[in-house]
Structure 1
Amino acid sequence: MNKLFYPAVFHKAEEGGFWISFPDFPECLTEGDDMQEAYEMAVEALGLVLTGRAEEKEEIPKPTEVDQITVDNGVLVIVEFDMMEYQRKHNSRAVKKTLSIPEWLNDAAIKAGVNFSQVLQEALMEKVK
């Protein structure tokens, strides 16, 4: 569940800009002064609702097929959401981990000036992609 794509409806606001709704998430509404800001706000709003539901262990619905959505007053836009990027941006608090490695490997790594935390982070990032 790294990249998700959900339909959103961008409505022209009377006072200018756009307000955005998501057919799959009726509680998710946002707005922006122009198309770029509206899209960026839509990504953030979608991130909040998806991570909120995940934290509460609520169901995350499959995106509705675009041909199943009727848009009377607005434009249908597909919003891309990258869960890993969102977590990287909003949840980068360091967490201490204890681990064990062979003594010879520890000695060799120290001698080589290896940054253990960096190596572990890089290896984990490669593993979870």
Structure 2
Amino acid sequence: MKTKQKDIYVYPVIFRNEGEKGIAILVPDLDVATCAETEEKAFLASRELISITIMGLEEDGERIPPASSVSEIALEKNDTVSLIDVFMPAVRLANRNKAVNRTVTLPAWLNAKALEYNINFSQLLQEAIKKELHLS
């Protein structure tokens, strides 16, 4: 069953200061974690972690867990909790425009000639497909 997509998700995130090891980042509701070296990087990494996790759940048609209240989050020593929001339309758009690899086969002589003329295979293939599909 396809889950209804929301535009904005807000989850509590635990930032655990681990001294010289950096900052552990835990998102209990999504059961994911990562780490970062600085507070600024931890904030950005938490947003990325939430967005890619939700993107994966959406793509797989899985249920997206509801966010807990900050007051429900159990903290340990050196923990702080913060609400982190992600704006999914931007994430979805970036994911749609990501590059994918395709394998193409062409005669060796043609490959050699194209390399001789420094042909950018990816660019040429994209342009040819767009032309074929009448896309600008």
Deviation at 1:89, TM superposition (A): 2.6
User: What amino acid maps onto 2:93 in structure 1?
Assistant: R
Secondary structure in structure 2 of the residue aligned to 1:5: strand
Alignment of 1:112-123 (within 5 A): none
- Whether 1:85 aligns to 2:90 is yes
Letter in 2 for 1:59: R
2:38 corresponding residue in structure 1: 34
> Cα RMSD over matched residues?
1.8
Identity of aligned residues (%): 20
TM-score scaled by length of structure 1: 0.66
Q: Of residues 22, 28, 39 in structure 2, which corresponds to 1:23?
A: 28
Of 11, 19, 28, the match for 2:16: 11
Give the secondary structure class of the aligned counterpart of 2:24.
strand
Match in the other structure for 1:76: 81
Instruction: Tell me how far apart the structure 1 counterparts of residues 43 and 64 of structure 2 sit (CA, whole Å).
Output: 21
Measured after TM superposition, the shift of residue 25 of structure 1 is: 1.5
Q: Following the alignment from structure 2 to structure 1, what is the Cα–Cα distance between the partners of residues 60 and 27?
A: 20
- Letter aligned with residue 64 of structure 1: S
Ranges in structure 2 where 5+ consecutive residues have no aligned partner: 1-5, 99-134
Measure how far apart 1:16 and its partner are.
4.0
Deviation string 1:11-66 (CA, Å, 9 cap, x unpaired) is: 0123242110011011x111111111111111111111111111111110110011
The one-letter code matched in structure 2 to 1:3 is I
Taking the aligned partners of 2:82 and 2:71, their CA distance within structure 1 comes to 12
> TM-score, structure 2 length as denominator?
0.63
